Amino acid sequence: MLNRLTKLFENNRENLLTVYFTAGYPKLDDTETIICSLAESGANIIEIGIPYSDPLADGPVIQESGMAAIEGGMTLQVLFNQLTDIRTKTQVPLILMGYFNQLLQYGVDKFLDDCVKTGIDGLIIPDLPLMEYEQFYKDKLTQRNISISFLITPQTEESRIHKVDALSTGFIYVVSDSSITGMKTGISSQQISYFERIKSLQLSTPQLIGFGISDRESYLTASKYANGAIIGSAFIKHLKGKNEVDKATADFINLILNP
Amino acid sequence: MIQLSENGYYGSFGGAYIPEMLYPNVKELQENYLSMIYADDFQREFYYLLKDYVGRPTPLYLAENLSAKHNATIYLKREDLCHTGAHKINNTIGQILLAKKLNKKRIIAETGAGQHGVATATVCARMGLECIIYMGAVDIKRQAPNVARMKMLGATVISATSGSQTLKDATNEAIRDWINNPVDTHYIIGSVVGPHPYPDLVARFQSVISEEMKSQLLEATGRENPDLIIACVGGGSNAAGAYYHYLNDLDVRLIAVEAAGEGVYSGKSAATSILGTEGIIHGSRTLLMQTTDGQIVEPHSISAGLDYPGIGPLHAHLITTGRAEAVSVTDENALKAAFELSRIEGIIPALETAHAIHALEDISFKSSDVIVINLSGRGDKDLNTYMEYLDKY
In sequence order, the 6+-apart residues with CB closer than 8 A to the CB of B266 are none
Interface of B with A (CB under 8 A): 7, 15-24, 162-163, 168, 172, 175-176, 179-183, 277-283, 290, 292-296
CB atoms under 10 Å from CB of A121, counted, come to 24
pLDDT digits (tens, 9 = 90+) for B316-329: 999 999 999 999 99
C-beta atoms of A60 and B295 within 8 A: no
Q: What is the mean pLDDT of residues A89-114?
A: 98
- pLDDT given for residue B73 in this prediction: 98
Question: Quick one: how far is CA B28 from the chain centroid?
Answer: 24
Percentage, residues of chain B above pLDDT 70: 100
In this model, does residue A136 exceed pLDDT 80? yes
Q: What tens digit of pLDDT does each residue of B339-368 get?
A: 999 999 999 999 999 999 999 999 999 999
- The arithmetic mean of pLDDT across residues A136-160, rounded, is 97
Architecture of domain B55-86+207-388: 3-Layer(aba) Sandwich (3.40)
Return the CATH number at A206: 3.20.20.70
B120-148 residue pLDDT tens: 999 999 999 999 999 999 889 878 899 99
> Cis peptide before A26, with omega less than 30 degrees from 0?
yes
In angstroms, the Cα distances linking B107 to B95, B98, B186 are: 10, 11, 5
Per-residue pLDDT, B142: 79
Domain boundaries in chain B?
17-49+88-202, 55-86+207-388
Q: What share of chain A is helix, strand, coil (3-state, %, to 5)?
A: 50, 15, 35
A186 pLDDT higher than 80: no
Q: How big is chain B, counted in residues?
A: 393
Is residue A98's pLDDT more than 80?
Answer: yes
Picking from B18, B20, B278, the nearest residue to A152 by CB comes out as B20
For A35, the domain range is 4-257
Residue B162: the pLDDT is: 80
CA B145 to chain centre: 20
Closest among A166, A172, A170, A220 to A192, alpha carbons compared: A220
Interface test with B, best of A105, A137, A158, A160 (most B CBs within 10 A): A105
Peptide bond into A154 cis (omega under 30): no
Domain count, chain A: 1
Residue closest to B168 by CA, chosen among B206, B102, B129, B111? B111
Q: Closest Cα to residue B110, out of B31, B46, B59, B163?
A: B163
**Closest to B163 (Cβ–Cβ): which among A67, A126, A180?**
A67
> Chain A residue with minimal CA distance to B195?
A127
- Please name the residue of chain B whose CA is at the shortest distance from the CA of residue A152: B20
> What are the backbone angles phi and psi of residue A8, rounded to the nearest 5°?
-55, -45
Residue A180 pLDDT greater than 90, yes or no: no
Q: Which residue of A has its CA nearest to B178?
A: A179
Q: Average pLDDT of chain A? A: 96
- Report phi then psi at B41, rounded to 5: -70, -35
Contact between chains at B295 and A56 (C-beta distance less than 8 A): no
Q: What percent of chain A has pLDDT over 70?
A: 99
Q: Measure the CA–CA gap between B57 and B219, rounded to whole angstroms.
A: 14
Q: What is the ipTM, given to two decimal places?
A: 0.95
pLDDT on residue B163? 75
The CA dihedral of B74, B75, B81, B85, to the nearest 10 degrees, is: -50
What is the pLDDT at residue B344? 98
Residue type, B379: G
Contact B17 A179 (CB under 8 A): no
The secondary structure element, H or E, covering residue B324 is strand B324-330
Q: To the nearest whole angstrom, how far is the Cα of A176 from the nearest Cα of chain B?
A: 11
- Express as a percent the part of chain B with pLDDT over 90: 92
pLDDT of residue B72: 98
- B17-49+88-202 maps to which CATH number? 3.40.50.1100
Buried b (16+ CB within 10 A) or exposed e, B332-363: bbbbbbbbbbbeebebbbbbbbbbbbbbbeee
Helices and strands (H, E) in chain A, number of each type:
13, 9
d(CA B61, CA A6): 68
| B99 pLDDT more than 90 | yes
The whole-number average pLDDT for the span B156-176 is 90
CB A114 within 8 A of CB A86: no
Query: Which residues, in sequence order, are CB contacts of B78 under 8 Å at separation 6+?
Result: B58, B59, B60, B61, B375
Query: Tell me, what's the pLDDT at A256?
Result: 97
Both ends of chain B: CA-CA distance in Å?
Answer: 44
Nearest to B201 by CA among B21, B375, B36: B36
Mean pLDDT of chain B: 96
Chain B residues touching residue A127 (CB < 8 angstroms): 17-19, 280, 283
Instruction: Kindly report, residue by residue over B202-225, the tens digit of the pLDDT.
Output: 999 999 999 999 999 999 999 999
- Least CB-CB distance to A57: which of B19, B281, B282? B19
Read off the pLDDT band of B313 (50, 70, 90).
very high
**Across the interface, do A54 and B296 touch by the CB < 8 Å criterion?**
yes
Distance in Å from the first CA to the final CA of chain A: 37
Quick one: average pLDDT of B253-257?
Answer: 98
Q: What is the pLDDT of residues A2-26, one digit of tens each?
A: 999 999 999 999 999 999 999 999 9
Judge whether residue B113 has pLDDT over 80: yes
Question: Which residues of B are the active-site residues?
Answer: 88, 110, 376
Q: What is the pLDDT of residues A213-236, one digit of tens each?
A: 999 999 999 999 999 999 999 999
Under DSSP, is residue A189 helix (H, G, I), strand (E, B) or coil?
Answer: helix
Give the range among A253-257, B111-115, B287-291 with minimum mean pLDDT. B111-115
Strands (DSSP E) found in B24-155: 60-62, 73-78, 106-111, 130-136
Q: Which of B202, B196, B258 is nearest to B230 (CA)?
A: B258
pTM of the model: 0.96
Q: Would you name the residues of A annotated as active-site residues?
A: 47, 58
Q: Are B393 and B376 in contact (CB under 8 A)?
A: no
